[in-house]
Structure 1
Amino acid sequence: MDEKEITDVTWIPLLLISLAAFIITLDSTFMNVAISQLITDLNTTVSTVQLIISFYTLITASLMLIGSRLQDIIGKKKVFLIGAGIYGIGALLAAISQNALMLFTGWSLLEGIGGSLMTPATISIASQTYKSDKRTFALAMISAMAGIAAAIGPLFGGIVTTFLSWRYGFVLELLIIIVVFIFSGKIQNFEPTLTKKDFDLTGSILLIFGLMSFVLGILLLEEDVIITVSLVILSLVILSLFASYEYGLTKGEKTPLIDINMLKVRNLSVGTLIRLITSLAMGGSLFAISIFLQSVLKYDAFTTGLNLLPATVGILLSSIIAPKLTSKINHKTLIRVGFLISMLAATILSTRFGVNTTFSTIAPGMFLFGLGLGFVLSLGIDISLAGTKEKNQSTASGLLSTGQTLGMSMGTAIIGCMLIVGATWGLHDAVNTYAPNQINDEQFHAESQEYLQKMGQINITELQGDTSIKEQIVNTVLTDAMKFVMSVTSAILAIGLLLTLALNDIKSYQLKRLKK
């Protein structure tokens, strides 16, 4: 496709890659509100659903840099379309799932692989298709679409789950993939810069096992602390070997999966950490809030999504405003403002969850939470890529995407585990308060934990004794756990705020280029 043709259809490529970014992120949030229905339909538990959600984003993150490198070997557009094809097959399998294993295969595995190929391609295609102000707008739009998907996911999931079935969410994704293929001719071809022999297989294997060991360790915290510690240590060892191996390839002038020297570009390395932290806070808090609304308040999927809607509005509003404000206020300042707003919101929300919680109770906090995150998400990519050379754009975009998706996976794993483990550990004290005569009854404890894992979606004839007491116990410990979860979220966002001190603003890089 020549330059004139691209000019004639300026925004069609952006629309297609933005739709891809939308459904990839939507996948990590829209099923949160359907957790109780999934437990019933697939005869599973909260922990299993948490594992499936976490592994979707984990698999995507683990393969992201591989997908990024493949762009340079077989071409950005081809990698994007291969990923879209795999993703579409996964969406179809997820839509017809009859058990947790089928859902895991279609959603976590196939869609995870497809997402890992598409995501870095969306950023690099936008970076090379559009220039100057159009590039800033394009990157902001991709980030905004991803952020909106993360926030609107619960409402979308609530609507389809309540009035149709959660399966229709995957059907919609499949339809979008079909639209992408129909108009794929509008996406420009970019010639590969490497060959197949340049693919770093050893580094790829080390990265996959390193990341998976870490998140799997976190997910197993509820089962065995020793296994968790062992897997986290193993992960750190493997990732250290990965970094050493990649550095060796770079020194030997061979082609690594990632050029370690790229991490010397301050905005790229700091920006990747900021993106990880932001996604961790957002993904984890939305998962925990969804669990609370469905388990304690017994909200259906639609009502749960409706209660999360203010966050969607906040993200959408700031995502529209932020790019326009950059002409007057620098990226760095706006991102800091975003962090401060979202920290304030998380602090407010930490006092708002209880058995009498209503929409009006949490709506202001949810709106501010989304508003703050929108500033960070919409401007984060542009400032992170500011100092990166054009030839490294593919790898850099893959690194940023890895940070985002790994953050979502870690958020669901870490904050989700905080909620579930905190509630599980709090059962003893709650039983002592509400059912002191049962304090030493192992069966009562086991059944209370089962009630928690099934989120109340369980036939009461399967439980012995007074089920209302078990419900009261679970509600109490989840309420206490939510206060802790939102306080931790605020602390995580504070780390992101501190990291912005290390960022250089875009104008400083532009001045350096002019001097050269």
Structure 2
Amino acid sequence: MSTDTRDVAGRGTAASTASDNPNHDRRWLVLCIVALAQLTVVLDGTIVSIALPQAQADLGISDSDRQWVVTAYALAFGALLLLGGRVADYWGRKRSFMVGMAGFAVASAIGGLAQNAMELFAARALQGVFAALLAPAALAILTTTFVGEKERAKAFAVFGAISGGGAAIGLLLGGFLTEYVDWRWCLLVNIPVAIFAIAVTLPIVKETKAHGDTSYDIPGTVLIALGLGSLVYGFTQAEKHGWASTQTVGFIGAGLVALALFVLVEKRSANPLLPLTVPWHRDRGTAFIGSMLVGSALLGGTLYLTFYLQIVLGFSPVEAGFGSLPMAAFIVMAAGVSANLSTRIGPKPLMVVGPVVAAFGLLLLTRIGVDTSYWTHVFPGLATFGFGLGLLMVPMQNLALIGVRDHDAGAASALVNATVQIGGALGTALFTTIYVSARTAFTSSHAAPTPPAGIPAEALAEAKMPSPEQLATLPAPVQEFVAAMKDYFFSAEVSGYSHAFAWAAALIVVICPLVIVLVRAKKGDLPAEGAVGMH
């Protein structure tokens, strides 16, 4: 039986000492295990993005449906993250950690062996379900293991570094696995990692639990999941049927109704999934809205960068992985600058400047074309976007914990991560609709190249997707036609990508007026320990 005297958030009470912490003696080994789990969850958000073009071709996934590879994971993860934190605290953090890791591995195996699009989508959703149990369990183990302020600061520094660097590692690892092994290993690689993590957790980590009221808010969980799922599906229907269609309006409306009912249930619940006092605060509420908009731009808007690099510019998966790295590098760089400045000037100036810089970076990406250079058109936009996000994210995460009671600190930290994932799911669905609509508008307003006269139908059929060797054997008029068709196709793709980047910029800049009007926090109001890094 655990003797842990901590609350749900894992923060120590006055009675907490190293002697009543069962994991204290092995705390640095515990940190290594938790860091490994965090790395698995974080990199899985980006490792699949690099593999997506090949997975799409292999499984015959349509352009409008491929976003579900990202959306299914982010939606399940974000919608269930708060419940996962409650389960971990009440059921047992070690037990939840091991079950989450095992389930994540099983879901990864299903996805790695998927034979069609629906199997892959379902596997990604299942990954999100178990990630929602695994991630808060890992964080709870960390916060209940490190008691001293200095040691906890070091532990969170490692945890934050993993959160920031995991996305970059996912880009590189995804590129290498896709190019030199198979895209399926971007999912299957989780299996040996999970086996190792479970094997070392079993003898090393001791069980801890929170005490007190351990009831679960099942109605709230169902309503938030149905509401968010209906919203996301409604956005995807807009691409197929239009924004004014019965399907689109119906699903979006049903989602909004479910979310409204969720708020009513939380008000009356004795042990709510989300204590409404957490987001119902002008500073914290702004931070949560901001994190949702960041997730939308980060996970939704930049998904199309992968397609542009591989499909239009012809980058290999490894090259695409390296080509995406500047964003992560500049996020880390700017986060260090932001952490120092926020203690001097407060969070508000950085939260106004950051979105403007990030939006400018996304607007730079709208200049891409079929034949533009990576270094002149992609790199400047990525670097600027990443730097702006880095300036914004540190004060925004700290703002989310201002004035939160110890009992609700876990919910506040989880809500930051949940809103990022939810924003990513909604953004991916929205930007997919924008991308498809822009591409369709381009093909409607631009005539396709006319096939050359007198060329056999067999030659034109072969010319649709010729290899370089095949192309060299075709008549010159056919070669010219193929080149014109490729330029036409790529121009339509670029039009879609550019519109997605522009809308992502518009969404993230919305943070600025919200911060100007609502945020009142000063530099002395920021939490002393800092915030937990985003997943």
TM-score (norm: length of structure 2): 0.81
Structure 2 residue aligned with 1:116: 132
CA contact (8 A) 2:48 2:187 kept: no
Q: In the alignment, is the contact (CA less than 8 A) between 1:140 and 1:379 conserved in 2?
A: no
| Comparing 322-331 and 335-344, the one that deviates more | 322-331
Structure 1 range deviating more: 324-333 or 356-365: 324-333
Per the alignment, residue 39 of structure 2 pairs with 22
Looking at structure 2, the residues matched to 268 and 123 of structure 1 have their Cα atoms a distance apart, in angstroms, of 21
SS in 2 for 1:262: coil
Give the Å deviation of 1:238.
1.0
Is the partner of 1:409 in helix, strand or coil? helix
Q: Write the mapping of 1:311-330 to structure 2, written as runs, cut at 5 A.
A: 311-323=327-339, 326=342, 328-330=344-346
- Does the 8 Å contact 2:343/2:524 carry over to 1? no
Is 2:238 aligned against 1:221?
yes
Q: Which moved more, 1:234-243 or 1:364-373?
A: 364-373
CA distance in 2, matches of 1:360, 1:168: 33
User: How far off is 1:187 after superposition?
Assistant: 4.8
Which residue, 356, 360, 366 being the options, matches 1:350? 366
2:368–2:494 contact (8 Å) kept in structure 1: no
Counterpart of 2:132, as a letter, is S
- Given that 2:89 and 2:137 are in contact with CA atoms closer than 8 Å, whether structure 1 keeps it comes out as no
CA apart distance, 1:233: 0.9
1:484 alignment partner AA: H
- Give the C-alpha shift of residue 282 in structure 1: 0.8
1:231 aligns with 2:223: no
Partners of 1:332 and 1:500 within 8 A in 2: yes
Q: Tell me whether 1:242 sits opposite 2:247 in the alignment.
A: no
> Counterparts in 2 of 1:219-368, with a 5 A limit?
219-225=236-242, 226=245, 227-249=247-269, 254-323=270-339, 326=342, 328-368=344-384
Is the contact made by 2:334 and 2:388 (CA closer than 8 Å) also made in structure 1?
Answer: yes
Measured on the aligned residues, the alpha-carbon RMSD in Å equals 3.2
Q: Deviations over 1:364-388 (max 9, x none)?
A: 2212222222333345433312321
Answer yes or no: is the 8 Å Cα contact 2:361–2:381 preserved in 1: yes
Distance of aligned partners of 1:270 and 1:101 in 2 relative to their CA distance in 1, 3 Å threshold: same
Q: Which entry has the higher C-alpha Rg, 1 or 2?
A: 2
Q: How far is the alpha carbon of 1:468 from its aligned partner?
A: 4.6
Which residue of 1 is the match for residue 72 of structure 2? 55
Instruction: Please give the alpha-carbon distance, in whole angstroms, between the structure 1 residues aligned to 2:311 and 2:440.
Output: 14
The 3 A distance-change label for structure 1 pair 125 and 477 is same
CA offsets per residue over residues 108-145 of structure 1, 9 Å max, x none?
13211111112333444444444646555655654543
Task: Kindly provide the amino acid, as one letter, of the partner of residue 390 in structure 1.
Answer: D
Q: 1:232: Cα distance to partner?
A: 0.7
Q: Structure 1 residue 435: deviation in Å?
A: 5.0
Q: Residue 514 of structure 1 aligns with which residue?
A: none
1-structure distance, mates of 2:435, 2:57 = 21
Residue 182 in structure 1 maps to residue 202 in structure 2: no
Name the aligned partner's letter for residue 68 of structure 2. Answer: L
Q: Secondary structure at the match of 1:410?
A: helix
* CA distance, structure 2, for counterparts of residue 476 and residue 510 of structure 1: 49
Change (3 A) 1:168 1:422: same
For 1:487, the equivalent position in structure 2 comes to 502
Q: CA deviation at 1:54?
A: 0.8
- Map 1:87-486 → 2, pairs under 5 A: 87-106=104-123, 108-130=124-146, 132=149, 135=152, 138-139=155-156, 141-184=158-201, 187=205, 189-194=207-212, 198-225=215-242, 226=245, 227-249=247-269, 254-323=270-339, 326=342, 328-431=344-447, 434-435=449-450, 468-486=483-501
* Count of residues in Structure 1 that have an aligned counterpart in Structure 2: 483
> Higher helix proportion, which one?
1
Is the alpha carbon distance of 1:435 and 1:19 closer, same or farther for their aligned partners in structure 2, counting shifts above 3 Å? farther
Deviations 1:436-465 (A, max 9, x none): 99xxxxxxxxx9xxx9xx9x9xx99xxxx9
- Map Cα deviations across residues 410-433 of structure 1 (whole Å, 9 max, x no partner): 22222233222211232111226x
CA deviation after TM superposition for structure 1 residue 509, in Å: 6.0
Structure 2 letter corresponding to 1:237: V
More divergent stretch after superposition (481-490 vs 199-208): 481-490
**Do the aligned partners of 1:68 and 1:397 also contact (CA within 8 Å) in 2?**
no
Asked if 1:32 is matched to 2:46, the reply is: no
Assess, with a 3 A threshold, how the Cα gap between structure 1 residues 330 and 140 changes in structure 2: closer, same or farther: farther
1:443 is matched with none
- Normalised by the length of structure 1, the TM-score is 0.83
Shifted more, 182-191 versus 409-418: the winner is 182-191
> Is this contact kept in 1: 2:24–2:145, CA < 8 A?
no
Deviation at 1:29, TM superposition (A): 2.0
Over 3 Å counting, the alpha-carbon distance change for 1:44 and 1:351 in structure 2 is: closer
- Structure 2 letter corresponding to 1:477: A
Partner SS, residue 189 of structure 2: helix
Structure 1's unaligned 5+ residue stretches are 438-446, 512-516
Q: Find the aligned partners of 1:386 and 1:353 in 2 and give their Cα distance.
A: 44
Question: Is the contact between residue 100 and residue 130 of structure 2 (CA under 8 Å) also seen in structure 1?
Answer: yes
**Contact persistence 1:354–1:479 (CA under 8 A):** yes
Alpha-carbon separation, structure 2, partners of 1:332 and 1:104: 39
* CA distance in structure 1 between the aligned counterparts of 2:513 and 2:206, rounded to whole angstroms: 39
Write the deviation string for residues 293-319 of structure 1: whole angstroms up to 9, x where unpaired: 223223332222222121122123334
8 Å Cα contact 1:355/1:475 also seen in 2: no
